[in-house]
Structure 1
Amino acid sequence: MLVVVSWVSFWLDKDAVPARVSLGVTTLLTMTTQASGINSKLPPVSYIKAVDVWIGVCLAFIFGALLEYAVVNYYGRKEFLKNQEKSKKLTRMEDCACPGDRPALRLDLSSYRKKTWSPRLPAWFSIIGKTKELSRKVDLISRITFPSLFTAFLIFYYFFYVVEYIPDEKNGSK
């Protein structure tokens, strides 16, 4: 459940820094506390237990969600600074004596050319392609990849650790 809660940050605005950071850190600390509580109740052994694999992967996914926001924040700041520079250039252009009420003249003929057929992409890919902000694309891609990878892990874990190690009823062991 903590892993799924950590994915809520993908749906929050990239500028909601306190909300996203506190959600990521809280889920990471909660999972760490859970892991230490579980490990303290189990006897120490020299091999890796199934619960160790489970906890390790869950910690990796929660840390990955926090790391994803670090990437989103980094690119979001770069995009913000780039937009600031563009707005400074635009204010200098407004100082010219050119009339501003006329629409801009297009020098290329791309809008007049006949449109060619292109294959339709799934809705998620078209949404990702429409946005120009890399930070937004990272969030959109994470909304798909994190749950997909975790589902793949759940399937692997279930078949490898649960089904594979169920004792055989006839012999009493595998």
Structure 2
Amino acid sequence: MELRREYSYYLIQLYIPCMMLVVVSWVSFWLDKDAVPARVSLGVTTLLTMTTQASGINSKLPPVSYIKAVDVWIGVCLAFIFGALLEYAVVNYYGRKEFLRKEKKKKTRIDDCVCPSDRPPLRLDLSAYRSVKRLPIISRISEILAANTDISRRVDLMSRLGFPTLFISFLIFYYQTYVKQSRD
């Protein structure tokens, strides 16, 4: 008699749906920070769906007193989805602060000036016209991280890169560890 685990069942029932839920939770990074209902409902829906997925899988497995690889997988996927929801909380907090600061600046500008001007100040130096050859990705990253960019926008842009990078790193680590343990 030989006991063998069916990996295809767990792949189709657990791993692929959980990966899809994590990736769907990242869609909120591309939504406008002012789209509160869309971002909140996306985050809460993916979190609840992941919780339902986890309870369904755990009910089919026998209870044991130690942590299984599936528990680690579900826990990390839940953490990534919850992290995406928390990311929006941070974006919303800083977005509100930036909005209030801009409103305050508008009020003080109108009160202080007779004729407020919307034109940018005139530059007298030629540094803007000198061409420095840089890769487009490097100039884009430095533009994103510039001090004059809104913090809420920077958090969204950094999350677009950071969350997938961390998740791919986890996938590599998880599968290397999982395959190594299954061979032993």
- Normalised by the size of structure 2, how large is the TM-score? 0.78
AA of the residue aligned to 1:125: I
2:124 & 2:46 partners in 1: Cα distance?
50
Runs of 5+ consecutive residues of structure 1 not aligned to the other structure: 168-173
How far did 1:123 drift?
4.4
Q: Which moved more, 1:77-86 or 1:112-121?
A: 112-121
Pairing 1:92-131 to 2, within 5 Å after superposition: 92-94=111-113, 96=114, 111-112=124-125, 120=134, 122-130=138-146
Higher-Rg member (1/2): 1
How far did 1:148 drift?
0.1
Aligned residues: 160
Pick from 151, 157, 160 the counterpart of residue 174 of structure 2: 157
How far did 1:118 drift?
7.1
Change (3 A) 1:67 1:50: same
1:16 aligns with 2:35: yes
Pairing 1:1-174 to 2, within 5 Å after superposition: 1-94=20-113, 96=114, 111-112=124-125, 120=134, 122-130=138-146, 132-161=149-178, 163-167=179-183, 174=184
1:104 & 1:146 partners in 2: Cα distance?
36
Change (3 A) 1:47 1:125: same
Runs of 4+ in structure 1 over 3 Å off: 103-106, 113-121
Greater share of residues in helix? 2
1:171: which partner in 2?
none
How far did 1:125 drift?
0.9
Change (3 A) 1:104 1:51: closer
CA RMSD of aligned residues (A): 2.4
AA of the residue aligned to 2:142: S
